[in-house]
A = this chain, B = another copy of it.
């Protein structure tokens, strides 16, 4: 078990890609007016790409257009103080190709928030890192 300088277990690429779709909500991290910004979104994977849906004119659509973003998911348990997190980093792009929109429309991806959200953003996973907290007695969260 490889651990980092902070004592957290370092997850492999395969483990990160396995955990990524285990939770329904992730957080997309970007820059807005030169300030760090973050927004929770529900998402799907398409191959190893992260797919989210938003409104075409939304701040998120504007701020992530051809930007490098981070995308974070995690799952923690208060009682056992265990958990894991996975963060992907990559280029985000808006989808305009009608054939690609048709393909992505078949994903089981329905925005939780109300309103028109037929604009797809795809984040290519170029880096992915993950950490797991394992308690000294071996307690861990899968």
- Number of A residues with CB within 8 Å of any CB on chain B: 41
Contact call A70/B113, Cβ cutoff below 8 A: no
Give the distance in Å from the alpha carbon of A6 to the alpha carbon of B35 in the complex.
21
Contacts of A57 in B (CB 8 A): 5
Give the distance in Å from the alpha carbon of A98 to the alpha carbon of B103 in the complex.
59
Closest to A89 in B: B35
Please pick, from B69, B85, B115, the residue contacting A7 in the complex, using a CB distance under 8 A: B115
A128 interfacial by beta-carbon distance below 8 Å: no
Could you give, for residues 12-25 of chain A, a 1 whenever the CB lies within 8 Å of some chain B CB and a 0 otherwise? 00000000000011
Q: List 25 A-B contacts (CB under 8 A).
A: A5-B55, A5-B58, A6-B54, A6-B115, A24-B76, A24-B78, A25-B76, A25-B83, A27-B27, A27-B38, A27-B72, A27-B74, A30-B36, A35-B70, A38-B38, A38-B87, A39-B85, A39-B87, A40-B76, A40-B85, A83-B112, A113-B133, A114-B133, A114-B135, A114-B136
Instruction: Enumerate chain A interface residues (CB-CB to B < 8 A).
Output: 5-8, 24-25, 27, 29-31, 35-40, 54-55, 57-58, 68-70, 72, 74, 76, 78, 81-83, 85, 87, 89, 112-115, 117, 133, 135-136
